[in-house]
Structure formats: structure tokens, C-alpha cells
Structure 1
Amino acid sequence: MAKDYVGDALERGDGEHFTRKIPVTPLAQIRLLLKAEKNSTKAVAARLGVSQRTVERYLAGQRKTPRKALRDALVREASKVWQPRVRQQARRRAAASGGITIETRARFGYTAAAGSTDDPRERLLTVHLPAAYAGELFQAQQNGASDQELREIVAKGFQEIYFQDGGRRADQLSEVEIQDITYLDVKF
């Protein structure tokens, strides 16, 4: 399974705005997921990749210490549903006026005019993208866009803001592509 670099980075960016810590005990995390899934133990089990009976055992207190895979799944899934209003407010601010800052180490390739090199090169970039790109990213993620589609939005923003410097240079540059991401971090 391919790593979801952009989606995961957006989720981590949400975490910086939380006003309280995410529950740490497995029981509290399962209860949080149960509330998010409208009391469906079956839905919680599907999210965690375990059986419905396993979820029921934790809720009944028959199990208390999960194995590593379940522990990791609990942390990952609980952080996705923790403080949804705080998450929405932070995203709304970024999409309305603040924008997002993306730091990445990746290989960037592009289509350019004849006579210039378009070989992909690894770069370490920190670029602030305007609110329009933040809104487009958040909307695409909410609509279930793949990591490739999210990368294309980021690449389009990098092309306009970094490579073309808002239209002041590289006007012959037609398409930037992000490949081989080593890491990607988002702040908003």
C-alpha cells in the first residue's frame, strides 16, 4: 500500500490545533471511536481492522492491553475524530485567509521549454501557499481524493508560488510534478 503523504500531513497539521490531549487508554479511545461511529461496534471494528467481538471485549473490560498493531490503529483512528470542531475551525481559517505552509523533501520534475533541462531534482522546500490552495486541498481530501490527486494540487501551488514566483519567472514552465517524497509536513 502506498503511503498517503499529503493526507497524513494534513491530519498531523490538524493535531497542532487541538486544545486537549487525545485519550491515551485503549478503553477511552474505543469509546471515542464508538461515539464517532454512532455506537456501532461493527463500524469501530472495521476501522481498527479487528473483530467486532474484540471491540466488545475491550468495552466490557475483559481486555485492557492491546497488541502493537491495534494500539497503533487506536491512536491513528482516535486522532482522526478528536475535536472535530477545533479541526474544522483551523481548516476554515487556513482556507479563508491564512493559507498553509508546506515543508517537503522530494524530487520535483517539470515540463519546460526546449533547450532547458527538465530532469527531476531533489529539493528541500518550505513554501507558503495561499488560502485558495488550502481550501482546494481540504475540499479534495474531504471528497476522498487519492494521495496522487492531493500531490497534484500541491504541485500546482508550488509551480505558481515557488517555481514561477507568481508570474515573475519561468513562464515557459508548464507542469510541475512531485515524485519520491522523503517527507512532507503541513502547518496552518
Structure 2
Amino acid sequence: MVDPVGDGLDRSLEGAFTRPIPKSAQAQMKYLVKQLKGTRAVAQLLGVSQRTVERYVKGQLKRPRPDLRDRMEREVRKRWQPQVRARAKHKASTTDGLVLSTRARFGFTAAPGTTDDARVRDITQALTPQWADRLFTARDAGATEQQLQRIAAEGLAEMYFRNNNTRAHGLGVEFTGIERIDIDL
């Protein structure tokens, strides 16, 4: 399942990494074993046998199946450089904010008597630290993709459509049909 906003937040934090993630299957497996403190936990996480994990750690197996390779890389990315990730999150949430660039369908709800049908727009907008903090906090609390999209829509409504709440008061924005989303710190 693709989560455009959640995955975009994760990719933005990966941009702060100071070192590349391990490339080889052996290095990735060793890293996971060290992080999870044992081969049994890694085997359960990846859905393989404990013996398979041990073979990758020893270098006896080198080329995982594509689905296993993807799971290994995803799990390593989730755990890689947690302090760097936390610093980047803190900086975005307190001082820098983030830049949201998207191509999506935007529709509006406004005062009675006005109409504005939904249409696809390309928007690149800086969001204040308040919105970065709301997005990261919701992501860490396990928010669904719909909840993250709602927060992103509120942020775009305030900063882009209502110009930091200086115009178009009461304009509600619907953020649907996401074709692409990139989030940068």
C-alpha cells in the first residue's frame, strides 16, 4: 500500500542521513541483527527462518529474493541513524519547517453561492514549523494516511490558498487524487 504523505515524510528524513545505508544483504542483515538484538527477532520481522538470517550474516547467502530484499532495505531505512533523524525532525518542527511539493486534485468548499470545481494543480509551498510538527507528531503517533493528508491539506489551505490566513477566510480545501508528493526539510 502506498502512503504518499507518510512515505514523503520518511524520504525527507532520509535526506538528512550523513552516511549511506548498508548496501549488501550481509551488511543489512548484520545491522538488523545488531538493532533487534538477535537473529530470531529479525527472522520474525522479515518472515524468514532463523537459519536463513544466520546464513546471510555469515555471507553464505548473498542475493535475496526481490521481496525479501525490499523488506530488508525498508527495515534498515526505518532504523538507520535514529539520532540524525530525530535532529532533522526537531529542526523542521521548531525552526525550519518543510517544503511540500505536490501534484494533486484540489477542490474547495467556500461560502454559499461560490463554486470552484476540483482540478489538478502543481503546488510547491513552504509550510511553517507548526505544520511540520503536526505532520511528524501525527506520523509518530500512528496516524492513518487520510489523517496525514488532512493535516497536509490544512497546511496548504492556510499557507497557499489563504496566504497565511490573510485572505479567503473560511475556505476549506480538499486534497485528493495525489499523483506525486515530495517533502523536503
Do Structure 1 and Structure 2 share a fold, with TM-score over 0.5? yes
Q: Of residues 162, 165, 168 in structure 2, which corresponds to 1:164?
A: 162
User: C-alpha distance in 2, partners of 1:122/1:6?
Assistant: 17
Is the contact made by 2:16 and 2:84 (CA closer than 8 Å) also made in structure 1?
A: yes
SS at match of 1:113: coil
Aligned positions of 1:66-77 closer than 5 A: 66-77=64-75
SS at match of 1:170: coil
User: C-alpha distance in 2, partners of 1:187/1:150?
Assistant: 16
User: C-alpha distance in 2, partners of 1:183/1:110?
Assistant: 20
> 1:126 aligns to what?
124
From the superposition, tell whether residues 46 and 179 of structure 1 become closer, same or farther in structure 2 (CA, over 3 Å): farther
User: C-alpha distance in 2, partners of 1:94/1:154?
Assistant: 15
Q: How far apart are residue 51 of structure 1 and its match?
A: 3.6
Residue 185 (structure 1) aligned with residue 182 (structure 2): yes
For residues 114-158 of structure 1, the C-alpha deviation after alignment (integer angstroms, 9 at most, x for no partner) is: 222242111100010000111111111111111111111111101
> 1:145 aligns to what?
143
Q: Which amino acid aligns with 1:69?
A: D
For residues 18-40 of structure 1, the C-alpha deviation after alignment (integer angstroms, 9 at most, x for no partner) is: 11111101111112122222x24
> 2:86 aligns to what?
88
User: C-alpha distance in 1, partners of 2:45/2:118?
Assistant: 38
SS at match of 1:179: strand
CA RMSD of aligned residues (A): 1.5
Residue 56 (structure 1) aligned with residue 51 (structure 2): no
Residue 7 (structure 1) aligned with residue 12 (structure 2): no
For residues 56-89 of structure 1, the C-alpha deviation after alignment (integer angstroms, 9 at most, x for no partner) is: 3312333111111111222222111111101110
> 1:33 aligns to what?
32
> 1:176 aligns to what?
173
User: C-alpha distance in 1, partners of 2:47/2:39?
Assistant: 12
> 1:24 aligns to what?
23
Q: Which amino acid aligns with 1:144?
A: G
Is the contact made by 2:26 and 2:58 (CA closer than 8 Å) also made in structure 1?
A: no
The count of residues paired between Structure 1 and Structure 2 equals: 185
Query: What's the % identity of the aligned pairs?
Result: 48
Which runs of 5 or more structure 2 residues have no equivalent in the other structure? none
* TM norm structure 2: 0.93
